[in-house]
A and B are shown apart, each in its own frame.
Chain A
Amino acid sequence: MSNLIKFKIDNKECMAEKGTYIVDAARENGIYIPTLCNMPGVKPKGSCRVCTVKINGRLMTSCTTPVADGMEIESSAAEIQDIRKSIIELIFVSGNHFCPSCEKSGSCELQALGYLYQMMVPRFPYDFPLRKVDASSPKIIKDQNRCIQCKRCIKTIKDEQGRSLFAFRNRGHRIEVVLDKELGLMMTEEMADLAMKNCPVGSILKKEKGFDIAIGRRKYDHEPIGSTIKL
């Protein structure tokens, strides 16, 4: 193929098709760059910043930056790993992430990243913000305590007319992802399944469902997140 270009990740020679996002190109070359807000096939937004890498001395998100010919990408340097770990810790302290009581525990991507980076305790103080749980939809529970504002549900859950069921509300530190009151009532079973599946944490849960996979059989019980990528 003529569109193949060469680039390096941590000095390892890699090849990918021109225009591929770094995170996908890395995966194709057997290198795992951790992500949280990113979803394959969905336009990236680079909001969690977990996939940060360094290119030409600048920090960039690998989910939004396409590879370029001759690009040299640093991903595993201690400095970058520490930034990622800091970000994960920051997300933990900024919400109310009570893993022991969470239905998503064991299959939660945020938690899995905590494991991957061996987060024993976040370096930042816990915020314990006062957040609400919205159970108004007959199909799902939207628990703001656990929401990490990754935007996945906003981007992927739409009705047949293309209207978004989820949206941001407010900005900055007070930002929330809310469910549209009207459309939330008309949510289908399939939409609810998809919303819960797309939520990387336990913020969107299907009603009358939970703790249905035994401890030991959950997604990240035995293998770290990203371990399927390594060659």
Chain B
Amino acid sequence: MEKSVKQIIAKYNTNQTRLMDILIDTQELQGFIGKEAVSDIADALNMSQADIEQTITFYHFLSTEPRGKFAIYLNDSAVAIMYGQRAIKETFEKEVGIKFGQVTNDGLIGLFNTACIGMNDQEPAAIINNRVFTKLTPYRVREIVRYMREGKNMDELINESYGDGKNHLPSLKSMVSSNIRRKGMILSDSYIYGSVTKNILPGISPEAVIAEIKHSNMRGRGGAGFPTGLKWEFCRRAKGDKHYVICNADEGEPGTFKDRVILTEKPELVFEGMALAGYAIGGDEGILYLRYEYRYMKEYLEDVLAVMRKNNVLGENIAGIEGFTFDIRIQFGAGAYVCGEESALLESLEGKRGEPRDKPPFPVEKGYLNQPTIINNVETFATAVRIIENGGEWFTQFGTEDSTGTKILSISGDCMFPGVYEVNWGFNVEDMLDMVGAYNVQAVQVGGPSGTLIGPDEFHRTLGYSDLSTGGSMIIFNKQRDLLRDVVLNFMEFFIDESCGSCSTCRNMPEVMKNKLVRILNGNGVKSDLTDLKAWGKVLLASRCGLGQTAGNPIISSLKNFRPLYEELLQKEKEFDQGFDLEASVQQSCRYVKRIPKFHLHE
């Protein structure tokens, strides 16, 4: 590891577009990116310090202030709270003696909230110095804090057994579990990696690969569902000096964790799929954009890539195909949900704030470094390999006509067996609930906070692009849950925290809507508030990206499907109430001037 900021800058060739790497390495070297480091980086890259800091302050895991020798990031997503996160949080605060958002005076421990870390099936969970601690209990928290004070190192902090699957490998040594509960074509063990590259690619042209993918009718697994073959074809046709393959592994949608499992258990399949895409579009460089929450996989994935290079599944003249050169590097994000949006991801890849780009142009024409680029989900690349192995026709027998193949679901919340399930598209919600052992179900959040909240009268609906479209996040809530307080409010806060802030709509409207929701929850709601919320939510549709356009969905969707929950909180007798409380509003001033508030009409 580099020993100084200057060495780090040199490692990345003083390249502005590698600013993210420079910042992440600096943060890891020093525990923060202080004034001196900012000044060094700014001078080297010929940028203003404010310009460097605008990138730092965009990302949750980067900081201009020290975050502590042990930086503890506790997940505060809805499911974490359902699994007892509040007790964990209180214990941390009590044991460490500070509030969340603070660092101890001795600089030893920092406590921070963080959005869903992709561990919904093993909450409460926290990230401590890039290692994930799952299934936390108050006892473990006390112990961990004690160990920290006793000067123990990170390895000594862990006394649990490692997780299932490959999590025990020396390069992972992780207590995270993969919890694969149903296998299909992606998660099955029947595929031997490299066989498509070595046995099939030498005999098939790039155009034929694209034709086969098109024939399969596969659509993107990230959620938006754009036909994969078409995307590859557009990119192949686009003119550029270089074509890029990007794998979007920024799975930030609360409740989804299947990419973490695919990358843990089947990374070779994903990387092979990226190389396959490179072959198809005529690109020789691939980048895995991995969310920082999964930093613990870095060494493991680097090892996998090294072995693949050794086996000539990556590298030069792959499988003996003259001119088929492809390699992959891993680029980390630094804590920003919006970077899962493909154009924000590109900005981040180029070392900038993750602000989505205006479209057109689309990435297939002008993507990474303004060159033609495909960006696909982890699962999409893995699926592409199986399609080329068995043919597009074979693939169409799985799923439904408009949603072919399988889908890997991340299922969490109130059920017996949370985890990862690979099912054929067309599965209905009822079967899904029975599959995972979910009883007394009040609601299911399909597709995460940006998706839809549905109730029992819609459980007959099926998963697919034409009905319930989902990137894979399924969160189950039983009848004991307070949907508005524990779910909708939490999701709104999530969107407020995660907006990039570029669009006036997404920057401000979710806060306005949340404030109204809080007023309703406080008992000050009136009927017109519901009309307002519905109308105001529509303004968000004028936002640039999917995050902004869906940032009102927690309220809009619950208002549509669970309206009685709102109605029972409204004041029946009042038509007007903005929540003003005269007695409460004079308390502060009266206390200061030492008088007891008295109320009488002057009239």
Question: Total A-B residue pairs with C-beta atoms closer than 8 Å?
Answer: 135
CB of A81 within 8 A of chain B?
A: no
| Contact residues, A102-139 vs B (CB, 8 A) | 123-125, 127
Q: Which of these, A90, A162, A179, contacts B46 with CB under 8 Å?
A: A162
Query: Is B44 in contact with chain A by the CB < 8 A criterion?
Result: no
Given contacts A59-B541, A180-B49, A182-B49, contact A171 B501 (CB under 8 A): yes
Residue A175, interface by CB 8 Å: yes
How long is the Cα–Cα vector from A180 to B46 in the complex, in angstroms?
14
B residues in contact with A149, CB < 8 Å: 501-502, 504, 507
Give residues 152-185 of A contacting B (CB, 8 Å): 159, 161-175, 178-183
User: Using Cβ atoms and an 8 Å threshold, which residues of chain B touch A86?
Assistant: 536, 539
Q: Interface stretch among B406-414, B421-429, B508-516?
A: B508-516
Tell me, yes or no, whether A226 is within 8 Å of chain B by CB.
Answer: no
- Identify the stretch in B272-280, B395-403, B492-500, B552-560 within 8 Å (CB) of chain A at 4 or more residues: B492-500
Query: Binary interface profile of A, 44-59, with partner B (CB < 8 Å = 1, else 0)?
Result: 1111111010000001
Contact between A182 and B507, CB atoms less than 8 A apart: no
Q: Known contacts A61-B544, A94-B507; decide if A172 and B50 are in contact (CB<8 Å).
A: no
A-contact 0/1 string along B316-354, CB 8 Å cutoff:
000000000000000000001000000000000000010
- What is the interface size of chain A, counting residues whose CB is below 8 A from a CB of the partner? 49
Q: Is B503 an interface residue (CB 8 A)?
A: yes
Cα separation A186 to B543 with both chains bound (whole Å):
37
Evaluate contact between A167 and B50: CB separation under 8 angstroms.
Answer: yes
User: Complex: how many Å from CA A140 to CA B49?
Assistant: 19
- Indicate if B48 sits at the interface (CB-CB under 8 A): yes
Output the nearest chain A residue to B548 by Cβ-Cβ distance. A49
Question: Is the beta-carbon distance between A93 and B512 smaller than 8 angstroms?
Answer: yes
B57 at interface, CB cutoff 8 A: yes
Tell whether A225 is near chain B: CB-to-CB under 8 Å.
no
Bound: A168/B500 CA distance, A:
11
Interface centre among B47, B336, B503, B542 (most CB of A within 10 A): B542
**Given contacts A171-B57, A172-B498, A163 and B46 within 8 Å (CB-CB):** yes
Question: Do the beta carbons of B501 and A173 come within 8 Å of each other?
Answer: yes
Q: Is the CB of B51 within 8 A of A164?
A: yes
B46 to chain A, nearest CB (A): 6
Contacts of B508 in A (CB 8 A): 90-91, 93-94, 127, 173
Contacts of A29 on B, CB cut-off 8 Å?
A: none
A83/B539 contact (C-beta < 8 A), A46-B358, A161-B46 known: yes
Are A87's CB and B50's CB within 8 A? no
Contact status A49-B511, CB under 8 Å: no
B512 adjacent to A173 (CB under 8 Å): no
The reply to whether the CB of A198 lies closer than 8 angstroms to some CB of chain B is: no
- Residue-wise, chain B 44-64 has the 8 Å CB interface mask toward A (1 for contact) of 001111110110011000000
In the complex, which residues of chain B have a beta carbon less than 8 angstroms from the beta carbon of A151?
502
Taking the complex as formed, is A64 at the interface, i.e. its CB lies under 8 A from any CB of chain B?
yes
Report the Cα distance A47→B504, complex, angstroms.
6
A161 to B48, CA, bound (A): 10
> B539 and A64: CB pair below 8 A?
no
Q: Which residues of chain A are near B500, meaning CB under 8 Å?
A: 171-172
Contact between B50 and A173 (Cβ–Cβ < 8 Å)? no
Contact partner of B57 among A47, A59, A64, A170, CB < 8 A? Answer: A170
Q: Is there an interface contact between A83 and B501, defined as CB atoms closer than 8 Å?
A: no
Contacts of B498 in A (CB 8 A): 172
A residues near B536, Cβ cutoff 8 Å: 86, 123-124
B30 within 8 A of A: no
Task: Give the dominant DSSP class at B's interface.
Answer: helix
Contacting residues, chain A, for B578 (C-beta < 8 A): 125
Cβ of A65 and Cβ of B360 under 8 Å apart? Answer: yes
Contacts of B336 in A (CB 8 A): 171
B507 to A49, Cβ gap below 8 A?
A: no
> Quick one: given A83-B538, A180-B50, are A168 and B58 in contact (CB under 8 Å)?
yes
Chain A stretch 62-106: residues in CB contact (< 8 A) with chain B: 64-66, 83, 86-87, 90-91, 93-94
| In the assembled complex, A23 has its CB within 8 A of some CB on chain B | no
Residues of chain B lying within 8 A (CB to CB) of residue A91: 504, 508
A16 at the interface (CB under 8 A from B): no
Is A170 touching B496 in the complex (CB atoms < 8 A)?
no
Contacts of A201 in B (CB 8 A): none
B505 within 8 Å of A by Cβ? yes
A26 within 8 A of B: no
- Tell whether A148 is near chain B: CB-to-CB under 8 Å: yes
Q: Quick check: B543 and A166 within 8 Å, CB to CB?
A: no
The residue of chain A having its C-beta at the shortest distance from the C-beta of B495 within the complex is: A172
- The docked-state distance in angstroms from the alpha carbon of A94 to that of B499 is 15
Would you give the shortest CB distance from B240 to chain A, in whole angstroms?
A: 19
Q: Is there an interface contact between A180 and B507, defined as CB atoms closer than 8 Å?
A: no
In the complex, the chain A residue whose C-beta lies closest to that of B549 is: A59
- Given contact pairs A64-B358, A171-B500, enumerate 4 new A-B contacts (beta carbons under 8 Å): A49-B504, A83-B539, A174-B501, A181-B50
A-B contact pairs, 30 of them (CB 8 A): A44-B358, A46-B358, A48-B504, A49-B544, A87-B539, A93-B512, A94-B504, A125-B515, A148-B504, A151-B502, A162-B46, A163-B46, A163-B47, A166-B50, A167-B48, A167-B50, A167-B51, A167-B53, A167-B54, A168-B58, A169-B54, A170-B501, A171-B353, A172-B498, A172-B500, A172-B507, A173-B499, A173-B508, A173-B510, A182-B49
Give B contacts to A, CB under 8 Å: 46-51, 53-54, 57-58, 336, 353, 358, 360, 496-505, 507-512, 515, 532, 536, 538-539, 541-544, 578
